[in-house]
């Protein structure tokens, strides 16, 4: 494990991720059980709640392998990663504005070629997130990153202090590429699992729920709800987020549900970033929650 400079900022998500939970953190933190042991987050994404809790020996997993490898690299080789990102940033800033788009697409092609080692692939993954339009991570049906260039003049591609802060809190974390069922195997009585899956669509057009090429459909939602109840039966605390739609309320009937306001942060049209609601579901009573 490498030695790194101590971070001077508090730990926070290192990248923008669709469905990120930064704005809901106060409600999520208030919805914890009074006392619990280990923290597990099987749909890690941006891991906002993990970074806010900063609990040691946490368990993070996701089916997005590049995301998981990035967290592993931040945990184990953060200074090497910062070095690679610094080189990318220096090269980008030296270009004329009319040449920066070509630079971005060359990075994207290298990323999609998947011939780099974990360190280089993670640097490309992170840098693309800093340069892509609206910071959006999106893949095609074949798994190729296809977000266009964001045309940022002077972006902070490196985010060194944020990466170092994340490095500190990830030191004792177990980080694995796996679906949520693996977290169930790792969980023990009185642990807390936070489940933040791709959401059930709120409308026919609201289908931006696939951050991996294989998607997450209604059968997966049903299986996940059954798994949540299974975990509760084993004495594991579970908190879940999902869309505020009747189907989800019915699926989690008998558990505690809070309806919370949110503002969608990722949309190509700023005028469409309107208010909405979603739900926080818990297998234990929470003040302000209603049992479904």
For 252-262, the pLDDT digits (tens) are: 999 999 999 98
Residue partners of 91: CB distance under 8 A and separation at least 6: 103
**Using CA of residue 150, residue 152, residue 158, residue 164, what is the dihedral sign?**
negative
pLDDT at 207: 46
Q: pLDDT value at position 107?
A: 99
CA distances from 76 to 10, 119, 154, 166 (A): 19, 10, 28, 11
140-190 tens-digit pLDDT:
989 999 999 999 989 999 999 999 999 999 999 999 999 999 999 999 999
HSE-up of 76 (CA within 13 Å, CB side)?
A: 12
Report whether 109 belongs to an annotated binding site. Answer: no
pTM of the predicted model as reported, rounded to 2 decimal places: 0.90
Question: Do the Cβ atoms of 256 and 32 come closer than 8 Å?
Answer: no
Domain ranges of the chain: 22-70+165-291, 76-164
| Residue 62 assigned ligand-binding role | yes
The verdict on whether residue 21 carries a ligand-binding annotation is yes
- Please tell me the predicted confidence (pLDDT) of residue 22: 85
Query: Any idea which architecture 76-164 has in CATH?
Result: Orthogonal Bundle (1.10)
- Condensed to tens digits (0 to 9), the pLDDT of residues 23-45 reads 899 999 999 999 999 999 999 99
Please tell me if the domain spanning 22-70+165-291 has the same topology as the one spanning 76-164: no
What is the pLDDT, as a whole number, of residue 216? 87
Above pLDDT 70, what percent of the chain? 89
Per-residue pLDDT of the chain (292 residues; tens, 9 = 90+): 454 544 457 999 999 998 778 889 999 999 999 999 999 999 999 999 999 999 989 999 999 999 999 999 999 999 999 999 999 999 999 999 999 999 999 999 999 999 999 999 999 999 999 999 999 899 998 999 999 999 998 999 999 999 999 999 999 999 999 999 999 999 999 999 999 999 988 765 444 444 445 578 999 999 999 999 999 999 999 999 999 999 999 999 999 999 999 876 555 555 454 568 999 999 999 999 999 8
> Do the Cβ atoms of 157 and 85 come closer than 8 Å?
yes
* 172 annotated as a binding-site residue: no
pLDDT score of 21? 87
pLDDT given for residue 189 in this prediction:
98
Topology of 22-70+165-291 in CATH? Rossmann fold (3.40.50)
- Confidence at residue 146, expressed as pLDDT on a 0 to 100 scale: 97
Is the separation of the CB atoms in 106 and 198 below 8 Å? Answer: no
């Amino acid at each position: 494990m490498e030695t790194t400079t101590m971070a001077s900022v508090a730990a926070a998500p290192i990248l923008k991720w669709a469905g990120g939970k930064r704005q809901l953190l106060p409600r999520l933190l208030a919805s914890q059980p009074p006392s619990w042991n280990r923290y597990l987050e099987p749909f890690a994404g941006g891991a906002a709640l993990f970074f806010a809790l900063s609990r040691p020996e946490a368990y993070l997993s996701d089916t997005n392998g590049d995301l998981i490898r990035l967290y592993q690299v931040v945990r184990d080789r953060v200074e090497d990663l910062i070095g690679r990102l610094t080189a990318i940033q220096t090269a980008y800033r030296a270009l004329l504005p009319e040449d920066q788009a070509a630079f971005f697409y060359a990075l994207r092609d290298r990323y999609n070629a998947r011939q780099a080692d974990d360190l280089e692939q993670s640097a490309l993954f992170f840098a693309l997130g800093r340069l892509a339009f609206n910071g959006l991570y999106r893949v095609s049906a074949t798994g190729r990153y296809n977000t266009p260039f964001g045309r940022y003049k002077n972006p902070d591609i490196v985010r060194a202090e944020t990466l170092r802060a994340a490095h500190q809190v990830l030191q004792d974390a177990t980080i694995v590429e796996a679906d949520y069922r693996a977290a169930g195997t790792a969980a023990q009585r009185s642990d807390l699992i936070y489940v933040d899956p791709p959401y059930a669509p709120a409308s026919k057009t609201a289908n931006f729920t696939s951050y991996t090429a294989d998607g997450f459909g209604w059968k997966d939602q049903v299986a996940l709800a059954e798994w949540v109840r299974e975990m509760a039966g084993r004495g594991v605390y579970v908190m879940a987020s999902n869309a505020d739609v009747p189907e989800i309320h019915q699926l989690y009937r008998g558990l505690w549900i809070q309806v919370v306001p949110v503002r969608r942060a990722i949309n190509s049209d700023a005028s469409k970033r309107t208010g909405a609601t979603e739900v926080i579901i818990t297998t234990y009573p929470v003040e302000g929650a209603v049992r479904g």
